[in-house]
Amino acid sequence: MKRILLVFFAFVLLYVVTFIIDPYSPYWDGYFKRQSLALDLLFSFLLCFLYSETSIFISARLNKRMPWTENPVKRFLVEAILVLWSVLLINFIGDSAAVLFINEPCGGIWREVSNEEARGMLQWTVVSVMIAFMIVAVNTGNYLIQNWKNAAVRASELNQMATEAELQSLKMQIDPHFVFNNLSVLSELILEDQQLGYEYAENFSKIYRYMLVNSKKDVIPLDDELRFLHSYIFLIENRFGEGVRFLIHVVREARQYFTPPLTLQLLVENALKHNKTSKKDPLLVRIYTLDAQTLVVENNCLPIERDQDSSGIGIRNIIRRYNLLGEREPEVKLEGDLFKIIIPLIKR
């Protein structure tokens, strides 16, 4: 369809440019009253078709053998020369056909031509060359735009693949101290209280089952994350005793929204890593909603004298995951002795 439209464009352009160049040419005298008008129009349309198809053919062949990206100047010169020669050849064949089949030839080639006819033939050649190069320009522009779009799509796909790989890597980051500490607590509980040790092992297995099931997901429902958090809190409370307290109040409307997996676990682990936990002055971790789409994880600041080395997961991990998902970043605030992380909940 595009190629047919291109031929019609060339056909109309041929007559428009020819008229503009010399509107007082005898060629236009009584033009629409000629008996051979239909044959003349058909002949012109056929020439435009040949100009268009030849130009497209030359461009297509050169795109394979001499792409624009390799040597644009050389490509332009080669294409220009080939198109010029093809137009001259088509015009020569067209003039010959005009002499044989049309009573008013476009400049006879087997008899002497008048100055008027020579000028008309030169004019025709110039216009046809212009038309051919306009077709080349349109075709080349379309080719370059398509290539640009394809390159943009490929770049987008590669970027998406890299993003997914990085996101997957971030999701799989788990603090190794978490594993060692909980295994140590489990071994002690089994010796002291087998029932409690059994419950601890059950919750520990739930946590890792959750990690395995959701490790390939970008986001999960907040309701699932909260259920996972309850198992995690069970381990924390048995590990730290009365040194840490949790208050959770999340409105029902917020539970239908989403968050990256392990977000709450990483924030709670971050609070425990950088603060003291003692029975006299317990660490208080509050998880609540400001509205249906905003979750807050808050803790009082009880900084330890010598802060532990961070393994690079925690808050930076969460912010990076939100960036990779193209969502609004979490906010980190320190208000007096309160440390807050404001988490935007994601709508899917």
Phi, psi of 328 (to 5 degrees): -65, 140
User: Tell me, what's the pLDDT at 262?
Assistant: 85
User: Tell me, what's the pLDDT at 62?
Assistant: 84
Query: What DSSP state is assigned to residue 330?
Result: P
Q: Tell me the pLDDT tens digit for each residue of 184-237.
A: 888 888 888 888 888 888 888 888 888 878 877 889 999 999 999 999 899 888
- The residue behind tokens 């890597």 is 169
Residue scoring higher pLDDT (219 or 324): 219
User: With 60 as the cut, is the pLDDT of residue 122 above it?
Assistant: yes
Residue scoring higher pLDDT (245 or 85): 245
Q: Tell me the pLDDT tens digit for each residue of 269-279.
A: 889 888 888 88
Strands (E), the chain: 220-221, 244-249, 258-259, 283-291, 294-300, 331-335, 338-344
Judge residue 43's burial from the number of C-beta atoms within 10 Å of its C-beta, 0-12 exposed, 13-18 middle, 19 or more buried: middle
Across residues 99-128, what is the average pLDDT?
Answer: 57
Distance CA 277, CA 219 (A): 31
Name the β-bridge partners of 294. Answer: 291, 344
Across residues 98-107, what is the average pLDDT?
Answer: 49
Q: Closest Cα to residue 196, out of 228, 244, 241?
A: 241
Q: Tell me the pLDDT tens digit for each residue of 75-101.
A: 888 888 888 888 788 777 766 665 555
Query: For strand 220-221 and strand 244-249, is the pairing parallel, antiparallel, or unpaired?
Result: unpaired
Q: Tell me the pLDDT tens digit for each residue of 3-46.
A: 677 666 777 777 777 667 666 666 666 666 666 677 777 777 77
User: With 80 as the cut, is the pLDDT of residue 344 above it?
Assistant: yes
Distance of alpha carbon 321 from the chain centroid: 18
CA angle 76, 80, 82 (to 5 degrees): 120
Count other C-beta atoms under 10 Å from residue 321's C-beta. 23
Q: Closest Cα to residue 255, out of 157, 318, 346?
A: 346
- The residue behind tokens 């059950």 is 202
Name the β-bridge partners of 116. Answer: none
User: With 70 as the cut, is the pLDDT of residue 302 above it?
Assistant: yes
Burial track 201-231 (b if 16+ CB lie within 10 A, e otherwise): eebbebbeebbeebeeebbbbbebbbebbeb
Distance CA 59, CA 47 (A): 18
User: Tell me, what's the pLDDT at 298?
Assistant: 96
Say what the pTM is: 0.54
Across the chain, mean pLDDT equals: 78
Count other C-beta atoms under 10 Å from residue 89's C-beta. 12
